[in-house]
Structure 1
């Protein structure tokens, strides 16, 4: 009798575990919408850059308002591209972490979209987001009129903070790469 009860509980446990495991397929929703959003942002970036390229420039005044508008459109387009790339990295990363490894990527030998852990995915996303913020700040700085000394100081501080953040990200990346190399070395010699 006890063996029958244990067998029923085991069967119930396996059914429940199967149900829990298959809940990971809900991750397909953010994967699909991230891919669609990435496509949309890439299209918006392309339209923005095209708008900048089609503006008429005045050769007599290369630093005129139309040049600033052209640069603003192009920088804006690059910003949209970077956000689209963030969404692509996110979609590929969570798909591989939660659903399945993408088989076709082995044909390219590319690891740019590959994330072995949630921490690595987060690191890649942070790097691209920081670059997108730098580009966005650059776009905003094009329209700033420096009228006071405090404006110049704020711009200089913004550039300094961006430089420090990039340096810290580089240090973090270098440290994680060296840790990974040490772990790989230890695995091969164990």
Structure 2
């Protein structure tokens, strides 16, 4: 009787891992939404740019707005990639290997064999998101003193060092 209860409990516990399918599905939805929103933002700027140049207008600060929207879209694309890597990794770790991914040679970036590997891949993309966000903030910052420019240079140096050590620690 105890052996039967143990078998039922272990089977239930093992099948409980399938609840992570909710994280996989909704991460995929989140990724798709982020890709659509970023693409829509860029398309809106394409249309606006076309209209401005057709009408021979050149609004003040238009280039800054254009660059800001594009950087914002890159930020959203990177977040979409984070969600995509997360959903693939969780699926492969908890549910099953993705068979179609094994048949293609270009899918090595999405292969995840351990939780540490998933965390490492996510951390690298998240750092890139933070760098792009920093760049977007820096684009709109106005510096009024040499000390502020020095702080800005120090922040760039810190980002460069962080990227160097992140790259150095990887499998390259």
Q: Deviations over 1:148-172 (max 9, x none)?
A: 1222122112111110110111121
Give 1:152's match in structure 2, choosing from 139, 149, 153.
Answer: 149
Equivalent residue number for residue 19 of structure 2: 26
Distance 1:45 1:112 in 2: 22
TM-score by length of 2: 0.90
For the 8 Å contact 1:90–1:125, the answer to whether it is kept is yes
CA RMSD between the two structures: 1.8
Residue 60 of structure 1: how far off its partner (Å) = 9.1
For the 8 Å contact 1:53–1:70, the answer to whether it is kept is no
Distance 1:104 1:26 in 2: 22
Give 1:72's match in structure 2, choosing from 58, 68, 88.
Answer: 68
SS in structure 2 opposite 1:145? coil
Structure of greater Rg: 1
TM-score by length of 1: 0.82
Residue 18 of structure 1: how far off its partner (Å) = 0.1
Matches within 5 A, 1:134-149: 134-149=131-146
Residue 117 of structure 1: how far off its partner (Å) = 0.4
* Higher relative contact order, chain-length normalized (CA < 8 Å, sep 6+): 2
Equivalent residue number for residue 116 of structure 1: 113
Equivalent residue number for residue 48 of structure 1: 41
Q: Which runs of 5+ in 2 are unaligned?
A: none
Residue 53 of structure 1: how far off its partner (Å) = 2.2
Distance 1:36 1:151 in 2: 41
Residue 61 of structure 1: how far off its partner (Å) = 6.7
Residue 66 of structure 1: how far off its partner (Å) = 0.3
SS in structure 2 opposite 1:111? helix
Distance 2:45 2:11 in 1: 53
Distance 1:84 1:168 in 2: 24
Distance 1:129 1:118 in 2: 16
For the 8 Å contact 1:55–1:66, the answer to whether it is kept is no
Q: Which runs of 5+ in 1 are unaligned?
A: 1-7, 178-190
1:129 aligns with 2:122: no
